[in-house]
Amino acid sequence: MCGIVGYIGDREASSICFSGLRRLEYRGYDSAGIAVVTGKGLTTRKVVGNLNNMETSLDEAPLPGPLGIGHTRWATHGKPSIENSHPHLSQNNKIAVVHNGILDNYQELRKSLTAEGYAFRSQTDTEVVAHLVEKYYKGDLRAAVCEAVRQLHGAFAIGCICADSPDEMIAVRRFSPLVVGIGDGENYIASDMGAIRAETDRVYVIDDDEICKITRDGVEITDLDCNPVEREPYVIPWPADAAQKGGYKKFMHKEIHEQPDAMRACMAGRLNSVDDPIHFENIGLTVDEIKGFEKVIFTACGTAMHAGLVGRFLMDKLARIPTEGDLAAELQVRDPVIPKNTLCVVVSQSGETADTLEALRAMKRKGAKVVSVINVVDSSIARESDGVAYIQAGPEISVASTKAYSMQVLTIELLCLYFAEVRGSCPPDEIRKLKAALLKLPKQAEEVLTREPDVIEVAKKYYEKPNALYLARGVNLPSAMEGALKLKEISYIHAEAYSAGEMKHGPIALVEPNMFVTAIACEGPTYDEMVGNIMEIKARSGPVIAVSYDGDEKIPQTGVDPGGDPTDITSQPNDMIWVPRTEELTSPLIIAIPLQLLAYHIADLRGEDIDQPRNLAKTVTVK
Ligand code: M6R
């Protein structure tokens, strides 16, 4: 969604802001703007659509000046247009404001400012901030911003500059992320560390209701009552080029290939050997609490929910705790009974998803303990949780989540095994088997990635089909759901996932040669039923792609009519995606990878914009 970058120093602020905005493109946006202060006053430049338009505009007419703020906007209040794009200006055109978040009371503020004579130029909620700052500005920009934000209800990260204060930039937040980057004789603000990682690896992570005065030579952080706040710099742990494509055509492709290393990072220190107990630091739970939990609820949105659904299965099975899984938006509506001793596990890559954050707060109000499974360190969800299990996936840029999904599943697997060990709820041999399977995973993931050419051949066969069905049972039903979501997000092929047990209750009516069915049919407790389902699909002329363990001799020929017309699908062997054998409960981790590759290559063959799929934003910070 929206992104913010700001700079003060001796270099050209507009080009630093522009590069930062480029790195925020993945979040999704539909317009962009930059404002700079020079000795002569304030100048803005705005474009609708792609940042290439901004690049062309800056090439044709550079925007010089050592102080500037930039913004990418994902429309919520008012359509994408020049008027609605940020930065928004005060009435006297001396103050510029960029804002992420949503102001709940902007209509009341707009009405009263209009009555006071302020003329609005946009439909946005943000414009009220620019006018409020002008109203309160008496030569001290920080004091004016402070006074303005006291009037605001809702979520915001705000950057503000003023033509009459050319040596400072003000930034403030409540519920929307904000960091201040620390340079040498220059400083930055950003809504996301990735935007400024190429410039610095040291940032201050700003808390709610903290305001920062940023000059070339320093950063002062205070609360809204001007009490100084002491903050240690946070050192960004990933290298400057982590958010680059590194030779891959698309971020999604790179991130799929990063999974073996991410698995190693995710397990490091938590699972060292089959004989060591699992370690989890900072999850904010005592042994007694873990032993005493009587109910667990997983909640999240989208892909993160699919990881949560794997967790629902594993927590029940391994830790023997009754476990539910609810989409974050639904959890608030369902208003479930939360008995004493309930744990809520919140899953989110960004840690900023609005529905997930709301669900977390609702669960806390009801007295649940909250542990979150998060990628982005110090994000809002991480901060509001009782404990955090970081997934250690590194920056994920592609809108379609891949490595974050796998690392969410892996972290949840480790968490469930940890609970099982603490509670003594699972036979030690079973735990050892699962630990051994997890330790083998990075190598197996590498092996799966070497088989990418086979997946490309399958993709070539099906990329023009209009519909797809993904079928699985048990612990891999979420794998089917995730496979279908990946395909629809980036290829725009209509894809549905069903429990194969539901086939005969409706979806089988859709089976025909133009709908391909991806069936997860790995040997295990649901194998025979999956074989039956594949036969039913083939008998109705449905093409089947099967995901099976290496060496399976049955699935390629399942449902094939050897005596039929060789040009007919029913007589042709099933298309196979082979994966190395693992345990049933660890299989979602290995099955995810070829399904991600399949979606990727189908979308690539269709020529889609894989890293920035239409209508989608990486981080959904509005409900
Ligand atoms: O940042 P989060 O994990 O909370 O995001 C949740 C969903 O918005 C996200 O997983 C979404 O479904 C992705 N586009 C999936 O690829």
Tell whether 109 and 198 lie within a shared domain.
yes
Residue 23 lies in a domain: yes
Q: Which residue out of 317, 369, 403, 618 is catalytically annotated?
A: 618
The mean pLDDT of 221-233, rounded to a whole number, is 94
| Nearest CA-CA partner of 360 in 389, 385, 378, 330 | 385
pLDDT value at 176 more than 70: yes
pLDDT digits (tens, 9 = 90+) for 328-374: 999 989 889 999 999 999 999 999 999 999 999 999 999 999 999 99
Residue 618 belongs to some domain of the structure: no
Closest CA to 445 of 590, 548, 258, 585: 590
Least confidently predicted of 29-38, 47-56, 66-75, 611-620: 611-620
pLDDT higher than 80, residue 464: yes
**Same domain as 325, residue 209:** no
pLDDT of residue 553: 96
Q: Cα of 350 to ligand 1 centre, how many Å?
A: 8
- Percent of the chain surpassing pLDDT 90: 81
Mutate to test the pocket of ligand 1, among 377, 620, 622 (most ligand atoms within 8 A of CB): 620
Residue 243: the pLDDT is 65
Residue 2 is a catalytic residue: yes
pLDDT band at 378 (very low <50, low <70, confident <90, very high): confident
Is 0.85 topped by the overall pTM?
Answer: no
Distance of alpha carbon 393 from alpha carbon 349, whole angstroms: 9
Residue 327, CA distances (Å) to 27, 174, 363, 622 in order: 22, 25, 13, 15
Q: Is the CB of 582 under 6 A from ligand 1?
A: no
Within a domain: residue 485? yes
How many Cβ atoms sit within 10 Å of the Cβ of residue 157?
Answer: 26
Q: How far is the CA of 343 from the centre of ligand 1 (A)?
A: 22
Q: 408: Cβ below 6 Å to ligand 1?
A: no
Q: In this structure, are 422 and 459 located in the same domain?
A: no
Q: Is 579 in the pocket of ligand 1 (CB under 6 A)?
A: no
- Is 598 found in the same domain as 540? yes
DSSP letters spanning 384-417: HSSEEEE-------SSS-SHHHHHHHHHHHHHHH
Q: Residue 403 maps to which CATH number?
A: 3.40.50.10490
pLDDT-derived band at 409, boundaries 50, 70, 90: very high
Q: Are residues 488 and 343 in the same domain?
A: no
Note the pLDDT of residue 614: 84
> Mutate which of 301, 309, 397, 485 to test ligand 1's pocket (most atoms within 8 Å of Cβ)?
301
Q: Could you tell me which residues are beta bridge partners of residue 298? A: 325, 345
Annotated active-site residue 618? The verdict is: yes
356 and 461 share one domain: no
Identify the sign of the CA torsion 104, 107, 110, 116. negative
Strand residue runs (E) in 191-290: 202-205, 210-214, 219-223, 234-235
* Atom of ligand 1 at shortest range from CA of 300: 4
Give the CATH number of the domain where residue 215 resides: 3.60.20.10
Q: Is the CB of 599 under 6 A from ligand 1?
A: no
The CA 609 to ligand 1 mean position distance, Å, reads: 18
pLDDT band at 621 (very low <50, low <70, confident <90, very high): confident
E strands, 134-209, in order:
156-162, 169-174, 179-182, 187-190, 202-205
Q: How confident is the model at residue 563 (pLDDT cuts 50, 70, 90)?
A: confident
In a domain, 617, yes or no: no
Q: Does residue 195 lie within any of the structural domains?
A: yes
Residues 549-570, mean pLDDT to the nearest whole number: 91
Cβ–ligand 1 distance for 398 under 6 Å, the answer: no
State the pLDDT at residue 30.
82
Q: Which residues, other chains included, contact 37 with Cβ-Cβ below 8 Å and sequence gap of 6+?
A: 65, 67, 68, 96, 161, 162, 163, 166
Whether 46 and 142 share a structural domain: yes
Residue 145 lies in a domain: yes
Let me know whether 64 and 210 are in one domain.
Answer: yes
Q: Is residue 422 part of a domain?
A: yes
Residues 438 and 456 in one domain: no
Q: Is the model's pLDDT at 616 over the cut of 90?
A: no
Mean pLDDT for the stretch of residues 589-597: 98
Range of the domain at 362: 251-442
For range 139-168, the mean pLDDT: 95
The reply to whether ligand 1 has any atom less than 6 angstroms from the CB of 373 is: no
pLDDT the model gives residue 332: 86
Q: Average model confidence (pLDDT) for the chain?
A: 93
How many angstroms is it from 48 CA to the middle of ligand 1?
25
pLDDT digits (tens, 9 = 90+) for 271-320: 989 999 999 988 999 999 999 999 999 999 999 999 999 999 999 999 99
Q: Domain boundary at 214, 243, 272, which?
A: 243
Together in a domain, 364 and 510: no
Spatial contact of 481 and 304, defined as CB atoms under 8 Å apart = no
Q: Give the amino acid at 95.
A: I
CB-based burial, 204-242: b 16+ in 10 Å, e otherwise: bbbebebbbbbebeebebbebeeeeeebeebebeeeeee
**Do residues 146 and 70 share a domain?**
yes
Q: What is the pLDDT of residues 425-459, one digit of tens each?
A: 999 999 999 999 999 999 999 999 999 999 999 99
489 CA → ligand 1 middle, Å: 11
Q: Is the CB of 401 under 6 A from ligand 1?
A: yes
Which of 47, 42, 33 has the alpha carbon at shortest distance from 5?
33
Share of the chain above pLDDT 70, in %: 99
DSSP-derived letter for residue 613 is -
pLDDT tens digit sequence for 45-60: 999 988 999 999 999 9
Give yes or no for residue 29 having a pLDDT over 90: no
Q: How far apart are CA 203 and CA 79, in angstroms?
A: 33
- In a domain? residue 174: yes
| Cβ-contact 615, 398 below 8 angstroms | no
Select from 416, 442, 468 the last residue of a domain. Answer: 442
* CA 176 – CA 224 distance, rounded (Å): 16
pLDDT at 1: 67
With the most atoms of ligand 1 within 8 angstroms of its CB, the residue from 305, 345, 401, 620 to mutate is 401
Q: Is the pLDDT at 619 greater than 90, yes or no?
A: no
- pLDDT at 255 exceeding the cut of 70: yes
Residue with CA closest to ligand 1 atom 16: 400
Tokens representing 261 are 């290393």
The total domain count for the chain is: 3
Q: Which of 217, 243, 269 is the last residue of a domain?
A: 243
Same domain, yes or no: 436 and 456: no
